[in-house]
């Protein structure tokens, strides 16, 4: 079972751990109701480092993403992001994902933790004929969500960039807690502010531990996977839509 960079921090905060997407993840800390209300009324911090991340780059990057994604990737300008599906060949869904445009020919994909291997095989399969540059960096990234009405205030305290300038589904790379190359994304999800922080962790794990502990001190809130699922209103299927086929699609 894999562990995120913040595993030790979760244990020190008396989190109840559970298995999810191949990782040991915090399911709750102080209680579902308390955590849910904290996110809705003030701010909460959620470790989502179990999510998968892919880079797609090169002159063929747009062609590949246009082929495998349900949305029009050509409409994604620099600094913006777009919600998407990987549709299968039967009109169903392989997985849902978010596509970020980092440069003219470089995109960043975030996919669901439980589907990382499946999604990677899927995109690699179609890339055999298109030949874009793709890389699976899921094991080298950490992801933190800072959510709730006070999310900007907490994140702004740790960054020099004007995070209030971020519009819906926008992102920027800036400093965070004294460290460079943090990518903040505003998605406006869960009826509250949603920032996600992504950082390579090949150098040291202690850096991320220090940063998340700083956020916890400032916000005095952290929450687990159950309250996150409740706020997203997808607790029934836990976000797993893999293999979904619309009823109206008849397969001969």
Domains of the chain plus CATH, in order, are 48-220 (3.30.1360.120)
Structural contact between residues 250 and 91, judged by C-beta atoms closer than 8 angstroms = no
Q: What is the pTM of this model?
A: 0.78
* 114-141 residues labelled b (16+ CB within 10 A) or e (exposed): bbbebbbebbeeebeebebebebebeeb
Distance CA 43, CA 37 (A): 9
Distance CA 151, CA 189 (A): 12
176, pLDDT greater than 80: no
84, pLDDT greater than 70: yes
61, pLDDT greater than 90: yes
- The residues near 9 (Cβ < 8 Å, ≥ 6 apart) are 209, 212, 213
Structural contact between residues 92 and 245, judged by C-beta atoms closer than 8 angstroms = yes
Of residues 244 and 149, the one with the higher pLDDT is 149
At residue 140, what are phi and psi to the nearest 5 degrees? -120, 15
Distance CA 29, CA 222 (A): 7
57, pLDDT greater than 70: yes
| HSE, side-chain direction, 13 A CA sphere, residue 212 | 30
194, pLDDT greater than 80: no
Give the tokens for residue 139: 């094991």
At residue 116, what are phi and psi to the nearest 5 degrees? -55, -55
At residue 60, what are phi and psi to the nearest 5 degrees? -95, 5
């Amino acid at each position: 079972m894999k562990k995120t960079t913040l595993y030790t921090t979760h244990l020190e905060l008396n989190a109840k751990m559970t298995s999810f997407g191949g990782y040991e993840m915090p399911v709750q800390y102080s209680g579902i109701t308390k955590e849910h209300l904290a996110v809705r009324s003030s701010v909460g911090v959620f470790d989502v480092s179990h999510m998968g991340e892919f880079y797609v780059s090169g002159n063929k990057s747009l062609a590949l993403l246009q082929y495998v994604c349900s949305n029009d990737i050509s409409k994604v300008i620099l600094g913006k992001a777009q919600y998407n599906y990987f549709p299968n060949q039967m009109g169903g869904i392989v997985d849902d994902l978010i596509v970020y445009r980092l440069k003219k020919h470089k995109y960043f994909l975030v996919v669901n933790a439980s589907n990382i291997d499946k999604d990677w095989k899927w995109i690699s399969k179609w890339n055999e004929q298109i030949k874009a540059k793709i890389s699976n960096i899921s094991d080298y990234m950490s992801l933190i969500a800072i959510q709730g009405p006070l999310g900007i205030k907490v994140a702004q305290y740790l960054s020099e960039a004007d995070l209030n300038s971020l519009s819906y589904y926008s992102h920027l790379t800036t400093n965070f807690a004294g460290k460079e190359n943090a990518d903040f994304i505003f998605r406006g999800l869960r009826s509250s502010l949603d920032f996600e922080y992504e950082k390579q962790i090949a150098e040291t794990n202690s850096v991320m531990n220090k940063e998340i502990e700083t956020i916890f001190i400032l916000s005095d809130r952290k929450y687990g996977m159950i309250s996150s699922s409740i706020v997203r209103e997808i607790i029934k299927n836990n976000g797993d839509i893999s293999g979904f086929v619309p009823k109206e699609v008849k397969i001969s």
